Chains A and B, each alone.
Chain A
Amino acid sequence: EDKVVQSPLSLVVHEGDTVTLNCSYEVTNFRSLLWYKQEKKAPTFLFMLTSSGIEKKSGRLSSILDKKELFSILNITATQTGDSAVYLCAAYSGGGADGLTFGKGTHLIIQP
């Protein structure tokens, strides 16, 4: 059974801190790893990682994939209160079971 595990489940930091969110996966026919940010309702797409070792960056957010060790990290530097959200990691297999296998998310709270 495909599995995605995120850690920590919850994280509280102060504004300006740097955080690292972890995602490990066990997925048959793995193709790519996706990160989403969920604030109130709809998850919004952040990154898709397909190749190992290549960092994707968007402003203060960056992410990298390690296909050998089957994990990904999402880094957020100089955190702001607007970064408070649940961050979801999902593995895409692209095989017969299309769709994404999601982790349960990391609930990030940024305190002013």
Chain B
Amino acid sequence: DSGVTQTPKHLITATGQRVTLRCSPRSGDLSVYWYQQSLDQGLQFLIQYYNGEERAKGNILERFSAQQFPDLHSELNLSSLELGDSALYFCASSVGGQGPEAFFGQGTRLTVV
């Protein structure tokens, strides 16, 4: 158990809908990273937050947004969902803003039908 908690574990929703994925980082970790993993693309970095502020952006679509709250939990919002958004979404956390050694949650499996 990495100490990173993601909810829900599985999510099935229709195209055009909006969903929110939630992540609680390990105790003491200030950085939260979001990744998308699909069969053809592998693990893709989406976005990073550090102590409530956006730190870096990767391949995140405009339909997706994220935030980190004062208690350091983070939410990833996915809107106007398309079939191609079906994937495993991981959250990872690390202590600092620069360290790459991140611990991953178990992921949320999103299926868009």
Say whether A and B bind each other. Answer: yes
Chain A residues in the interface with B (C-beta under 8 A)? 31-32, 34, 36, 41-45, 48, 88, 90, 92, 94, 96-105
Known: A41-B106, A41-B107, A42-B90. A102 touches B42 (CB 8 A): yes
B2, B58, B97: the one within 8 Å of A42 (CB): B2
Contacting pair B90 A48 (CB below 8 A): no
List the A residue with the shortest CB-CB distance to B56.
Answer: A98
What 10 pairs across the A-B complex have the smallest Cβ distances? A98-B56, A92-B100, A99-B45, A102-B43, A104-B42, A42-B104, A41-B106, A42-B106, A43-B104, A41-B107
Give chain B's interface secondary structure class. Answer: strand
Given contacts A34-B101, A99-B33, A102-B43, 11 further A-B pairs with CB under 8 A are A41-B107, A42-B107, A44-B104, A45-B102, A90-B43, A90-B100, A99-B48, A100-B33, A100-B45, A102-B42, A102-B45
Contacting pair B101 A99 (CB below 8 A): no
Contacting pair A97 B100 (CB below 8 A): no
Chain A residues near B48 (CB, 8 Å)? 98-99
Chain B residues in the interface with A (C-beta under 8 A)? 2, 4, 33, 42-45, 48, 55-58, 88, 90, 97-98, 100-107
B42, B103, B106: the one within 8 Å of A105 (CB): B42
Q: Which of B43, B88, B102 has the most CB of A within 10 A?
A: B43
Q: Which of A45, A48, A101, A105 has the most CB of B within 10 A?
A: A45
List the B residue with the shortest CB-CB distance to A98.
Answer: B56
Known: A97-B56, A99-B48. A45 touches B101 (CB 8 A): yes
What's the least CB distance linking B35 to chain A, in Å? 8
Q: How far is the CA of A68 from the CA of B50 in the complex (A)?
A: 32
Contacting pair B98 A94 (CB below 8 A): yes
Known: A34-B101, A41-B106, A43-B43. A97 touches B2 (CB 8 A): no
List the B residue with the shortest CB-CB distance to A102.
Answer: B43
